[in-house]
Amino acid sequence: MTSSNLPSLRVAIVGAGPAGIYAGNILTNTVAALRQAQEPGSYRVAIDLFESLPAPYGLIRYGVAPDHPRIKGIVNSLHEMLDAGTTRFIGNVEVGRDISLAELQERYDAVILATGAIRDAALDIPGIDLPRSFGAADFVAWYDGHPDVPTEWPLDQREVAVIGNGNVALDVARVLAKHAVDLRPTEIADNVLAGLESSAVTDVHVFGRRGPGDIKFTPIELRELGEVPDVDIVVHDEDFIDADPTGAANNQLKVMLRILNSWRTRESTGASRRLHLHFYHSPVEVLGSAETGVSGIRFERNEPIGDGRVRGTGEFREFAVQQVYRAVGYYGTPVIDAPFDERAGVVSNVEGRVRDASTTGDTDAPVIAGLYATGWIKRGPVGLIGHTKSDAMETIAHLVADAEAGRLTPPAVDGDVLDLLDEREVAFTTWDGWLALDAHERELGATHEHTRERVKVVPRDEQVQISRGALVP
């Protein structure tokens, strides 16, 4: 039997970030390997990759700081996976709005949810919702040119607090402290560059609940802070209670502690901006009023008690700041009608097999045949890109096992899903459309007064028009 005559396994993946793309690629390769080995019951696979945005790549395009081209190099491998033609990209389609989850389940043998986590985790302290108090995810979306956030951002205050000790907190702090001129060579959108050029920020304070020995940065991210032009790094000796590099648990932490300790003796250069790193501070309250907005933030000073744990000392400190950014983690993005664990912020699942929400917390709960999850929506917003790939392997292994065991329900509705979207006048985008948008952005970069690799197109309607072949004059 030739490949074209083999039975087809039709799979829909919801979310075109790394998690969804890796899942599609791994599924394609797994099924191809089974055919190559001439396994009994071999089949071919047809995959449709749905994305709510007009462009693919998810947080790689809209969650990585524009001055990190090294990380964005991941796009090259994701591009190769989609460009192979084994997965069909269908963008600008919101599952739950333009097409329901039930309608996907009727048209596909299996549906994989890979919607990730784009919302900020909550920080339950008084004053956190005052004017000029923001979630880091919203700011990241703005400086990455996300089409669904306002094109302007208020950067009219001098002193800013960033709460968190992870890479996102560091990215936010670096972009706030960095001079716009040093971001011109990047792919930053013009409206973002203009906003940063008019920024009034002079001092950025980053607060971590634990000590230097428990930071969640990476050495490259940390080292970059000390190399930002016209920005002084300020650290405090009292925060280095437990920061001896010789006692570090691993080489990565040892390197970071050496970097931090080197900053203790570095003299001020008189830079026009300062980035302050504070450790052992737990946020207690954002100060201010609904009328005037944020005026400060109160912390309780902590002390280490071993094994990375800390306890409050009863000493409280206040810092005068006029903006606060919380970077304490992300929260999963649910899909309408899919079981969702509100407490954990993930789709209810067992190793990627989605289970009934009515039995959340019960590891023996029955799973929903043909419905799967992968990535952050499966396990929570932790881990790096490599974890996403191994995570997808687990989910795909279960999907393939279910297919081979006959546990999947064949599609009840025939026909191409694109016909349904056309009937509903959904302006979906395609892979060819992304290639057109990609080329357009690169051309904008090449002809920009400050030559750069690309200049992002921000408005959604403009992205859609370019992708669908109607170039905007």
Beta strands in 290-391 (DSSP E): 293-306, 309-319, 323-326, 330-331, 340-341, 346-347, 349-350, 353-355, 367-373
Same fold, 3-118+332-428 and 120-330: no
- In the chain, domain spans: 3-118+332-428, 120-330
164 is in an annotated binding site: no
Check whether 271 is labelled as a binding-site residue. Answer: no
Q: Residue 152's CB: how many other CB atoms inside 10 A? A: 11
Checking 147-154 for CB contacts under 8 A at 24+ apart, the result is 147/53, 147/54, 147/458, 147/459, 147/460, 147/463, 148/460, 151/191, 151/458, 152/191, 152/195, 153/192, 153/195, 154/323
166 is in an annotated binding site: yes
Residue from 254, 269, 211, 271 nearest 236 by CA? 211
Return the residue matching tokens 């951002």: 153
**168 among annotated binding-site residues:** yes
pLDDT of residue 243: 78
Pairing of strands 110-113, 8-14: parallel
Give long-range contacts, CB 8 A cutoff, 24+ apart: 222-228.
Answer: 222/170, 222/256, 222/259, 222/260, 223/259, 224/174, 225/170, 225/173, 225/174, 225/275, 226/259, 226/263, 226/266, 228/174, 228/177, 228/178, 228/182, 228/275
User: Does residue 167 have a known ligand-binding role?
Assistant: yes
Q: What is the pLDDT of residue 82?
A: 92
Query: pTM, whole model, 2 decimals?
Result: 0.91
Whether 24 contacts 392, CB under 8 Å:
no
> Is 5 assigned to a binding site?
no
Is 221 one of the annotated binding-site residues? yes
286 carries a ligand binding annotation: no
Q: List, in sequence order, every residue forming a beta bridge with 287; answer none if it has no partner.
A: 296
Is there a binding annotation on residue 300?
Answer: no
The pLDDT value recorded for residue 151 is: 94
The angle at the Cα of 152, spanning 54 to 273, to the nearest 5 degrees, equals 120
pLDDT means over runs of 10, the chain (473 residues): 58 96 94 75 85 95 85 82 92 97 97 92 95 96 94 96 92 96 90 96 97 85 89 94 79 90 92 97 97 97 88 97 95 90 90 79 77 94 78 95 92 94 97 96 88 90 91 50
431 appears as a binding residue in the annotation: no
- CATH number for the region 120-330 comes to 3.50.50.60
Annotated binding-site residue? 376 = yes
CA-wise closest residue to 54 among 138, 148, 149, 136: 148
Query: Under CATH, to which class is 3-118+332-428 assigned?
Result: alpha beta
Query: Cβ-count burial of 381 within 10 angstroms (0-12 exposed, 13-18 middle, 19+ buried)?
Result: buried
Q: Give the helix/strand (H/E) hosting 107.
A: helix 101-107
Provide DSSP, 242-299: T--GGG-SSHHHHHHHHHHHHHHSPPP---SEEEEEE-SEEEEEEEEETTTEEEEEEE
